[in-house]
Chains A and B, each alone.
Chain A
Amino acid sequence: MQELEEDGILQPAMPSCWCQETKPHKFCPGCGHGIILKVLGEAIDELGIKDTMVFGCDIGCSLLSWDLFSIDTVQTHHGRTTPVITGMKRANSDIIGVAYMGDGGGYAIGSQHLFNAAVRNEKITILLCNNCNYGMTGGQMAPTTLPGMKTETTPYGRDVSETGYPTKGPEMVAAVAPEGAYVARGTIANVRQLKGFIKKALENQIAGRGISFVECLSSCPTNWRTNAKQTWEFVEKDMAGFFKVGELRGSEVKEG
C-alpha cells in the first residue's frame, strides 16, 4: 500500500499538516511547487513538528502557499523570507523556521541574504524551488535559466556570454557555510529521495547544527509551455543534466 502510494498509483492522502479548507491548492496543474510542498508536509507530519514550526513563503508562486498548511505562516517580500525567518529564529530559538522561495527570490533579489545566512550558519531550513524561470511574473529569465533557454526576457535564448551561466545555489552555499551545514539538491522526479533530503534538513535544524539548504528541481509547465511529457523530460533530462542531484554537505546527518 505504502509503495503503491509512493509510486503514485493510488492517490495518497493529503499530509495532515495541510489545511483542508484551502484545498485544492492554487498552483497550476503540473506545477512542481505542489509536489515539493506535499513532500515537505509529509516530512513535517513524520517529524511531528507542526506546532513548533513557522513557515515563511516568498513572493513568487511560492506565495500561493500562504494558506496551504495549518501551520503558522508568514508571506514576506520578494527575496526577504530568509532574513525574516532568521530574525525569528534568533529571537526565539525554539521555533523551527522554514523559508520557502523560488529561484528568483533566493538567487537573485535575495542572494545576499542566502549567502550571509549561510556564512553565519543560521539554524534555519531554506527550501528553494528551481523552475528555471520567474513563474509568477510570466516567465522571465531567472538566475537558473538554462543556457539557450527562451524566456520572456531572453526571447532569442539565454546567451551565456551576456548573462552568465545558471546559478548553482547548493554549490555556493556548500562552499561558504561552516561546519554543521546540510546542503542538498533534490528533484520532484524523485520524491522519495527529496523527502529524505528535506527531513534531514529539518533534523539538522532541530539538532541546532547549522544552516540547512535544499534546492528542488521543479516544473513550471505554464510558462515553459510544455505538455506533461515534455515537462517531465525537461526536469529529468535538461535540468538534471545541468544541476547535479545529491547531497553536497552533511550527508552523514542521519535520517531519524
Chain B
Amino acid sequence: MGKTMKIALAGEGGQGVQSVAEILAEAANEDGKQALYIPNFGVEQRGGVSIAYVQIGDENIGAPKFIAADILIPLSPRAVQRTREHAGKNTVYIYDNSLIQQAEVNDHIVGLQYFDVTPPNPRSEQPNRDLPQDLIAGEPKTASFMTKSQGVRPEDIPEVKKVIAIPANDIAKNELHPRVFNVIILGAVIAATQILPMDSIKNALETKLGAKFNANPALRDMNFKALERGYELVHSAM
C-alpha cells in the first residue's frame, strides 16, 4: 500500500496558498495519482490564516483533513502558531525566514464566505479575475510585501523531523517579483514531496496560465524560474 502524502500549507490571505494547493492537486491528478484538496473556509475575519490540505497518493484517499502532516508549510508567523497541531514527529517543516521583508497583512480583510473558499467560477464572457491572477499580475489582495515585521520566532518552531527555512519572500522581492512568491513555494513543495516530476507542475501552470504566458512569454520565464528556485532551495536542504 503506497503511502498517501499529506501536505498542509498555511498563510495569510493574499499569499496564495490556496492557489498553490490547487495547482499541486490538479497536477497530481493529471499525473494519474489520487489527489484530494480541501481549503479551509468560513466567515474568515480580518486576515484569518488560510490553510490548504492536500493529499496525494496511489490509493483512494480517506478523510479530507488530517492532524499530522508529512509536509507542513506555514508561511507567516501567525500561520506557524495556527498550524501547531499539524506538526508531528515525522513532519518536514518548511517556513519562510526572510530577513528584510515579511508579508504584512492588511488587517482590513473581511468576513467573506467566498474569498478563500472556492476556486473562482469563470464568468461567461469575463473570466473571473481573482485567484490565478495573484500569481502573476495585480496587487495581492491582502498582503503587502513592503514592511518589516518580527518574523517567525525560533521558539515557535515545533519539534519535527526536519526544519527547512527558506527566504522565499526575500527572493521574490529582490530577485524575481513579489507576485511569484507562491510559485517559489510551489517549487519547494515539489522538492519536499518528490512525488511529482517538475514537468507535471509546469504543465499544470501552463494549463492554468497558458494564455497569459503566450501573451507575455516573460511571465512564463519568471514563473518557471521561481519554481526552480523554490525547488533548489529545498532540494539542497533535504
Touch A–B, Cβ below 8 Å: yes
Residues of A within 8 A of B (CB): 24, 26-29, 31, 61, 63-64, 136-139, 150, 152, 155-156, 222-223, 225
A24:B112 contact, CB within 8 angstroms: no
B123:A26 contact, CB within 8 angstroms: no
Known: A28-B110, A156-B124, A222-B115. 12 other contacts (CB 8 A): A24-B46, A27-B110, A28-B108, A28-B109, A29-B106, A31-B110, A64-B45, A64-B110, A138-B112, A139-B114, A150-B123, A150-B124
A152 to B129, CA, bound (A): 14
A-B contact list, 26 entries, CB within 8 Å: A24-B108, A26-B45, A26-B110, A26-B111, A28-B112, A61-B110, A61-B111, A63-B111, A64-B43, A64-B110, A136-B43, A136-B111, A136-B113, A136-B114, A137-B113, A137-B114, A138-B114, A138-B118, A139-B114, A150-B126, A155-B124, A156-B124, A222-B110, A222-B112, A222-B115, A223-B114
* Chain A contacts for B45, CB-based, 8 A: 26, 64
A157 to B129, CA, bound (A): 17
* Chain B contacts for A24, CB-based, 8 A: 46, 107-108
A139 to B130, CA, bound (A): 13
Main secondary structure of the interface of B (DSSP, over half): loop
Contact A26 to B121, CB < 8 A, known contacts A136-B112, A136-B113, A222-B110 = no
Residues of B within 8 A of A (CB): 43, 45-46, 106-115, 117-118, 121, 123-124, 126, 128-130
A-B interface, 7 closest residue pairs, ranked by CB to CB distance from nearest? A138-B114, A28-B110, A155-B124, A64-B111, A26-B111, A29-B108, A26-B45
* Chain A contacts for B114, CB-based, 8 A: 136-139, 223
Closest B residue, CB atoms, query A64? B111
Contact A138 to B110, CB < 8 A, known contacts A150-B123, A150-B124, A152-B121 = no
Min CB gap A107→B, angstroms:
20
* Chain A contacts for B43, CB-based, 8 A: 63-64, 136
A24 to B109, CA, bound (A): 10
Min CB gap B141→A, angstroms:
9
Min CB gap B103→A, angstroms:
17
A97 to B129, CA, bound (A): 41
A138:B109 contact, CB within 8 angstroms: no
A26:B124 contact, CB within 8 angstroms: no
* Chain B contacts for A137, CB-based, 8 A: 113-114
Contact A138 to B117, CB < 8 A, known contacts A24-B46, A26-B45 = yes
* Chain A contacts for B113, CB-based, 8 A: 136-138
